[in-house]
Structure 1
Amino acid sequence: MFLMIGLSSLLVQTGRAQVSLSAGNAVTQNEFRLAGPQTQTILYCDSKDYEVVKRTTRLFAGDIQNVTGQLPSVITSESRLAENSVIIGTLGSNGLIDKWAREGKLQANGLKGKWESYLIQLVVNPAPGVKKALVIAGSDRRGTAYGVFSISEAIGVSPWYWWADAPIVKRSQLTLRVPVTLSREPSVKYRGIYVNDEDWGLLRWAKKTFDVKQGNIGPKTYAKIFELLLRTKANYLCPAMHEASTAFNQIPENKLLADSFAIVMGSVHAEPLLFNNASEWDKKTMGEWDYMTNKEGINKVLRDRVRSNAAFENVYTLALRGIHDKAMSVNSSVSDRVKVLSEALRDQRKILTDVLGKPANQIPQAFTPYKEVLDIYTNGLELPEDVTIVWPDDNYGYLKRLSNAAEQKRSGRSGVYYHASYLGKPHDYLWLSSTPPALMYEELRKAYDTSADRLWLLNVGDIKSCEFPFTLFMDMAYDIDKFNYDVIAGYHATWLSNLFGKEYYDQLLDITTAYYHLAFSRKPEAMGWGYEWNTYKNGRERTTDTDFSFSNYQEAESRLKEYGRIGGLAKSLMDKLNDDQKPSFYQLLYYPVKGAELMNKMHLTAQKNRWYARQQRTATNELKEQVKVYYDSLQVITRGYNSLLNGKWNQMMSMVQGVTASYFELPRLDSVTLSGPSVLNVLAEGEDVLKGQRSFHALPSFNTYNRQSYYFDIFNSGRSPLKWVLKSSADWIVVKSKRGSTDTEDRIWVSVDWKKVPVGERVSGSVAITSGKQKESVLISVFNPASPTLADVNGLFMEDNGYISINASEFQNKRESEDIKMRIVPGLGYEGASVQLGDPAAPFQNPMSSTVPCLEYDFYTFHAGSVDVYTYALPTFPLSTDKVLGHETSGGETKYGVCIDDGPVSQPTTSAMEYSQVWSENVLRNSAVKKSVLHINSPGKHTLRILCGDPGLVISKIVLDFGGMKRSYLGPPATKVITQVK
Structure 2
Amino acid sequence: MAINAAVSSVNAATVGGHGDTGFPLIADGLPAAILVDPIADSAVRHAADNFSGDIERVCGRRPLRHADLKGARGRIVVIGVAGRCAAIDRLVAEGRIDVGDIVGEWEAFLQIVVDRPFPGVTEALVIVGADRRGAVFGTYDLSERIGVSPWHWFADVPVKRQANVSIPAGVRRDQPKVRYRGFFINDEDPCFSGWAKKAFGGVNAAVYAHVFELLLRMKGNYLWPAMWAPKAFAADDPNSMILADQMGVVMGSSHHEVMMRAQDEWHRDTKSGVTGGAWDYSTNARNLRTFWRGGIERMTSKPSGTYESVVTIGMRGDGDEAMAEGTATGLLEQVVADQRAIIADVTGKPAAETPQVWALYKEVQDYYDHGMKVPDDVTLLFADDNWGQIRRLPAPDAGRRPGGYGVYYHFDYVGVPRNYKWINTNQIEKIWQQMDLAYRRGADAMWIVNVGDIKPMEYPLGFFLAMAWNPDAFTPAVLADYPARWAEATFGPEHAAAIGTIVTAYSQYAARRKPELIDQDSFTIGDITPDGLDGGAFGAMVAEWDALEARMLAAKRALGADRQDAYYQLVEFPIAAMANLYRLYYATAWNRKLASRNDPRANAFADQVESTFQRDQDLTDRYHRIADGKWDGMMAQVHMNYVIWNDPTRQTMPSIVRVAGDTPEHRRRGGVSFVARTVSKSGVIAIEATAFSRLHHGAGLRWTAIPHLGRTKGAVLALPQGRPATTPADGICIDYNVDVAVAGPATLTLFLAPTLDTLGGAGVAIGASMNGGPVQTLRAELTATGGAQRTPGEKRWADAVRDNVVRLSTDMGHLAAGRHVLKIWRLDDNVVLQKLVLATAPVEPTYLGPVPATN
C-alpha distance in structure 2 between counterparts of 1:70 and 1:742, whole Å: 60
| Amino acid corresponding to residue 545 of structure 1 in structure 2 | D
Pick from 211, 219, 234 the counterpart of residue 248 of structure 1.
234
Higher relative contact order (CA 8 A, sep 6+): 2
Note the C-alpha offset of 1:408.
3.8
Pairing 1:943–2:821 present: yes
| Amino acid corresponding to residue 34 of structure 1 in structure 2 | I
Pairing 1:545–2:521 present: yes
CA distances 1:186-215 after superposition (whole Å, capped 9, x unpaired): 01011011111431111101112x212xxx
| Amino acid corresponding to residue 569 of structure 1 in structure 2 | R
Pairing 1:200–2:198 present: no
C-alpha distance in structure 1 between counterparts of 2:772 and 2:77, whole Å: 70
**Structure 1 unaligned blocks of 5 or more:** 1-12, 529-543, 676-718, 723-740, 752-780, 782-798, 882-890, 978-982
CA distances 1:303-328 after superposition (whole Å, capped 9, x unpaired): 12112212111111112001121112
Q: Within 5 Å, give how 1:298-377 maps onto structure 2.
A: 298-310=288-300, 311-328=306-323, 330-332=324-326, 336-377=327-368
C-alpha distance in structure 2 between counterparts of 1:721 and 1:240, whole Å: 54
C-alpha distance in structure 2 between counterparts of 1:408 and 1:369, whole Å: 19
Aligned to 2:655: 668
Note the C-alpha offset of 1:360.
3.0
Instruction: Tell me if structure 2 keeps the 8 A contact 1:610–1:670.
Output: yes
Note the C-alpha offset of 1:523.
2.5
CA distances 1:421-440 after superposition (whole Å, capped 9, x unpaired): 11111122211112111100
Pick from 175, 178, 200 the counterpart of residue 211 of structure 1.
200
Pick from 734, 739, 758 the counterpart of residue 855 of structure 1.
734
Q: Within 5 Å, give how 1:792-807 maps onto structure 2.
A: 800-807=681-688
| Amino acid corresponding to residue 170 of structure 1 in structure 2 | R
Pick from 892, 896, 902 the counterpart of residue 766 of structure 2.
896
Task: Check 1:54–1:720 CA distance in 2 against 1; reply closer, same or farther (3 A cut).
Answer: closer
Other structure's SS at 2:452 match: coil
Instruction: Tell me if structure 1 keeps the 8 A contact 2:384–2:408.
Output: yes
Instruction: Tell me if structure 2 keeps the 8 A contact 1:123–1:132.
Output: yes
C-alpha distance in structure 1 between counterparts of 2:499 and 2:384, whole Å: 29
Q: Within 5 Å, give how 1:407-446 maps onto structure 2.
A: 407-446=398-437
Pick from 11, 17, 25 the counterpart of residue 23 of structure 1.
17
| Amino acid corresponding to residue 126 of structure 1 in structure 2 | P
Pairing 1:926–2:804 present: yes
Task: Check 1:745–1:259 CA distance in 2 against 1; reply closer, same or farther (3 A cut).
Answer: closer
Other structure's SS at 2:711 match: coil
Note the C-alpha offset of 1:165.
0.6
Note the C-alpha offset of 1:247.
3.3
Aligned to 2:249: 263
Other structure's SS at 2:709 match: coil
| Amino acid corresponding to residue 452 of structure 1 in structure 2 | A
C-alpha distance in structure 2 between counterparts of 1:632 and 1:466, whole Å: 24
CA distances 1:360-407 after superposition (whole Å, capped 9, x unpaired): 333211111100011111001012112111110111110001011464
Task: Check 1:27–1:744 CA distance in 2 against 1; reply closer, same or farther (3 A cut).
Answer: closer
| Amino acid corresponding to residue 222 of structure 1 in structure 2 | Y
Other structure's SS at 2:176 match: coil
Task: Check 1:40–1:507 CA distance in 2 against 1; reply closer, same or farther (3 A cut).
Answer: closer
C-alpha distance in structure 1 between counterparts of 2:123 and 2:189, whole Å: 51
Other structure's SS at 1:564 match: helix
CA distances 1:118-149 after superposition (whole Å, capped 9, x unpaired): 11112222212111122111111011111111
Aligned to 1:875: 754
| Amino acid corresponding to residue 184 of structure 2 in structure 1 | Y
Aligned to 1:754: none
C-alpha distance in structure 2 between counterparts of 1:967 and 1:478, whole Å: 40
- Which structure carries more helix by proportion? 2
Aligned to 2:550: 568
Instruction: Tell me if structure 2 keeps the 8 A contact 1:839–1:951.
Output: no
Instruction: Tell me if structure 1 keeps the 8 A contact 2:604–2:670.
Output: no
Deviates most, 906-915 or 562-571: 906-915
Aligned to 2:24: 32
C-alpha distance in structure 2 between counterparts of 1:417 and 1:117, whole Å: 24
CA distances 1:897-926 after superposition (whole Å, capped 9, x unpaired): 223224454322223111422111101111
Aligned to 1:612: 594
Task: Check 1:304–1:864 CA distance in 2 against 1; reply closer, same or farther (3 A cut).
Answer: same
Note the C-alpha offset of 1:111.
2.1
Other structure's SS at 2:716 match: strand
Pick from 228, 246, 267 the counterpart of residue 214 of structure 2.
228
Other structure's SS at 2:695 match: strand
Aligned to 2:530: none
C-alpha distance in structure 2 between counterparts of 1:843 and 1:586, whole Å: 45
CA distances 1:742-764 after superposition (whole Å, capped 9, x unpaired): 8557999999xxxxxxxxxxxxx
CA distances 1:410-460 after superposition (whole Å, capped 9, x unpaired): 222101101111111112221111211110000000100111111110111
| Amino acid corresponding to residue 621 of structure 1 in structure 2 | N
Q: Within 5 Å, give how 1:167-206 maps onto structure 2.
A: 167-171=158-162, 173-206=163-196
C-alpha distance in structure 2 between counterparts of 1:850 and 1:104, whole Å: 58
| Amino acid corresponding to residue 199 of structure 1 in structure 2 | D
- Per the normalisation by structure 2, the TM-score is 0.91
| Amino acid corresponding to residue 860 of structure 1 in structure 2 | D
C-alpha distance in structure 1 between counterparts of 2:31 and 2:568, whole Å: 37
Task: Check 1:274–1:548 CA distance in 2 against 1; reply closer, same or farther (3 A cut).
Answer: farther
| Amino acid corresponding to residue 917 of structure 1 in structure 2 | K
Task: Check 1:119–1:851 CA distance in 2 against 1; reply closer, same or farther (3 A cut).
Answer: closer
Note the C-alpha offset of 1:720.
8.9
C-alpha distance in structure 1 between counterparts of 2:405 and 2:363, whole Å: 19
Aligned to 2:141: 150
| Amino acid corresponding to residue 167 of structure 2 in structure 1 | R
C-alpha distance in structure 2 between counterparts of 1:571 and 1:940, whole Å: 47
CA distances 1:579-614 after superposition (whole Å, capped 9, x unpaired): 211111110111111111111111122112222223
**Structure 2 unaligned blocks of 5 or more:** 1-6, 301-305, 528-533, 640-644, 787-793
Instruction: Tell me if structure 1 keeps the 8 A contact 2:129–2:135.
Output: yes
Pick from 913, 922, 942 the counterpart of residue 783 of structure 2.
913
C-alpha distance in structure 1 between counterparts of 2:497 and 2:247, whole Å: 38
RMSD: 2.6
Task: Check 1:15–1:906 CA distance in 2 against 1; reply closer, same or farther (3 A cut).
Answer: closer
C-alpha distance in structure 1 between counterparts of 2:36 and 2:73, whole Å: 13
C-alpha distance in structure 1 between counterparts of 2:176 and 2:95, whole Å: 26
C-alpha distance in structure 1 between counterparts of 2:803 and 2:589, whole Å: 19
Task: Check 1:140–1:668 CA distance in 2 against 1; reply closer, same or farther (3 A cut).
Answer: same
Task: Check 1:482–1:15 CA distance in 2 against 1; reply closer, same or farther (3 A cut).
Answer: closer
C-alpha distance in structure 1 between counterparts of 2:427 and 2:681, whole Å: 31
C-alpha distance in structure 1 between counterparts of 2:149 and 2:175, whole Å: 22
Pick from 378, 401, 409 the counterpart of residue 387 of structure 1.
378
Other structure's SS at 1:568 match: helix
Instruction: Tell me if structure 1 keeps the 8 A contact 2:436–2:721.
Output: no
Other structure's SS at 1:80 match: coil
Q: Within 5 Å, give how 1:831-846 maps onto structure 2.
A: 831-846=712-727
C-alpha distance in structure 2 between counterparts of 1:896 and 1:611, whole Å: 41
| Amino acid corresponding to residue 178 of structure 1 in structure 2 | P
Instruction: Tell me if structure 2 keeps the 8 A contact 1:353–1:359.
Output: yes
| Percentage of matched positions with identical amino acids | 30
Deviates most, 936-945 or 319-328: 936-945
Aligned to 1:485: 476
Instruction: Tell me if structure 1 keeps the 8 A contact 2:31–2:61.
Output: no
Aligned to 2:789: none
Other structure's SS at 1:54 match: helix
Pick from 840, 843, 846 the counterpart of residue 965 of structure 1.
843
CA distances 1:483-523 after superposition (whole Å, capped 9, x unpaired): 12232234133212222121112211331222122123223
